[in-house]
Amino acid sequence: MRTPNPSSVAPIRVALVGYGLAGSAFHAPLIATTSGMQLDLIVTRDAARRVAALRDHSGVQIVDSADVLWRSASDFDLVVLATPNRTHAPLTQAALAAGLSVVVDKPFAPTAEEARALVDDARARKLMLTVYQNRRWDGDFRTVRRLQADGALGTIFRFESRFERWRPVPKVGWRERADPAEAGGILYDLGSHLIDQAMLLLGDVISVYAQLDRRRPDVQVEDDAFVALTHRSGARSHLWMSAVAAQPGPRFQVLGDKAGYVKLGLDVQEDALRRGERPGGADWGEEPRERWGLLGAGDELRAVPTECGAYQAFYEGVVRCLRDGAPPPVDPSDAVRGLEIIAAARHSAAEGATIRIS
């Protein structure tokens, strides 16, 4: 792994491509508040976003094309791609060819084959490549992992996970387009998170069953989905994702042979970032007591504190990787496997059958 800065003091110079919701809320604030990083350049051609970027990050350079970035690649150490899904693979390829390490937003690429080729390219060039699976650092999921590590649940045999919204009127944009190159639909959008969490918790997957539906009038891609995974261990994950959930179910119901854990509501960090808040305070990612989940069995239940959410840990991991040679915060091979599972889910829904995967 190449170390971009020979000095441990010099900041990692970051170029951010894209300043929509992902770039402005989920990446730029974390980069700007991570010790050892410096946001130097933002690529966006949208006039309103250029104004917003300069307001949010005074002194940053704004350019309207990634080609400008590639021509000055030696001025940077890291490229962060917060762009439409169809651009993830070609922009990652261009960044690696320019000699730059890369953070790419999920989904990594439209297909596992494209993603695997990028992993191989990064490895050959000795450059860091990682995928922004920020939901690994949701407070509620961190709580599930803590309970698993502590043995409070016993052996987990079923993991139920939901990411459901109420959006009866579809938004206009590339996420709603049917062209496979767009990687649109709720399976790529939310399923990428839920599948990644399930694999991180329970290990590799050997079979997939899925139901994908289009519930709203005139939509081109699925907006309501269920995916069932069988893990190599024998545990099962049941994953729901929807844009038409008038009443959402529990965010998590995790069942083990000693106890279960049920948690309502989504992690608080997304709303905080959308409000313009940034990590750094003592209460960042802290969930109010009334939203804590319940742990126990039968009638013996108790509320357990939700771990603080920690999206900032992703970019802290990037710094350790680039400076110290630590593993990247998310192994891109995990994201390749997630894309294989998404492909199997689409196959399953089309055939109405369970698909075994190697």
Judge whether residue 223 has pLDDT over 90.
yes
Q: State the pLDDT confidence band at 295, using cuts at 50, 70 and 90.
A: very high
Residue 7 has what pLDDT?
A: 47
Are residues 179 and 305 located together in one domain of the fold? yes
Q: What is the pLDDT of residues 84-108, one digit of tens each?
A: 999 999 999 999 999 999 999 999 9
Decide if 27 contacts 104 (C-beta within 8 A): no
At 269 the three-state DSSP class reads helix
Residue 6 has what pLDDT?
A: 44
Are residues 102 and 247 located together in one domain of the fold? no
Residue 8 has what pLDDT?
A: 52
Are residues 33 and 161 located together in one domain of the fold? no
Q: Is residue 329 part of a domain?
A: no
Span 210-235, average pLDDT: 95
Are residues 67 and 146 located together in one domain of the fold? no
CATH number at residue 207: 3.30.360.10
Are residues 66 and 206 located together in one domain of the fold? no
Span 14-43, average pLDDT: 97
Q: How far apart are CA 180 and CA 8, in angstroms?
A: 43
Going 127 to 133 to 134 to 140, the CA torsion angle's sign is negative
The two beta strands, 129-132 and 236-242, are unpaired
Judge whether residue 339 has pLDDT over 50.
yes
Q: How far apart are CA 262 and CA 268, in angstroms?
A: 17
Token duo for residue 137: 């650092």
Q: How far apart are CA 67 and CA 63, in angstroms?
A: 9
Span 109-125, average pLDDT: 98
CATH number at residue 85: 3.40.50.720
Domain that holds residue 34: 12-132
Span 264-275, average pLDDT: 96
Greatest Cα pair distance in the chain: 64
Residue 87 has what pLDDT?
A: 96
Residue 168 or 5, more confident: 168
Q: Which of 132, 150, 165 is the last residue of a domain?
A: 132
Place of tokens 């699925």: 222
Q: State the pLDDT confidence band at 300, using cuts at 50, 70 and 90.
A: very high
Side-chain half-sphere exposure of 207, counting CA atoms within 13 A: 10
Crossing angle (nearest 10°) for helices 88-97 and 112-125: 10
Are residues 237 and 152 located together in one domain of the fold? yes
- Count of domains for the chain: 2
Q: What letter does residue 55 receive in the DSSP assignment?
A: H
Residue 170 has what pLDDT?
A: 86
Mean pLDDT, rounded, of the chain: 95
Judge whether residue 251 has pLDDT over 90.
yes
Residue 172 has what pLDDT?
A: 76
Q: How far apart are CA 228 and CA 133, in angstroms?
A: 20
Q: Which of 109, 132, 155 is the last residue of a domain?
A: 132
Judge whether residue 64 has pLDDT over 70.
yes
Residue 191 has what pLDDT?
A: 97
Phi/psi of residue 86, each to 5°? -65, -20
Judge whether residue 71 has pLDDT over 90.
yes
Are residues 177 and 112 located together in one domain of the fold? no
Decide if 184 contacts 141 (C-beta within 8 A): no
Q: How far apart are CA 63 and CA 42, in angstroms?
A: 6
Q: What percent of the chain has pLDDT over 70?
A: 97
Q: Is residue 99 part of a domain?
A: yes
Decide if 83 contacts 182 (C-beta within 8 A): no
Q: What is the pLDDT of residues 161-192, one digit of tens each?
A: 999 999 999 887 767 787 888 888 999 999 99
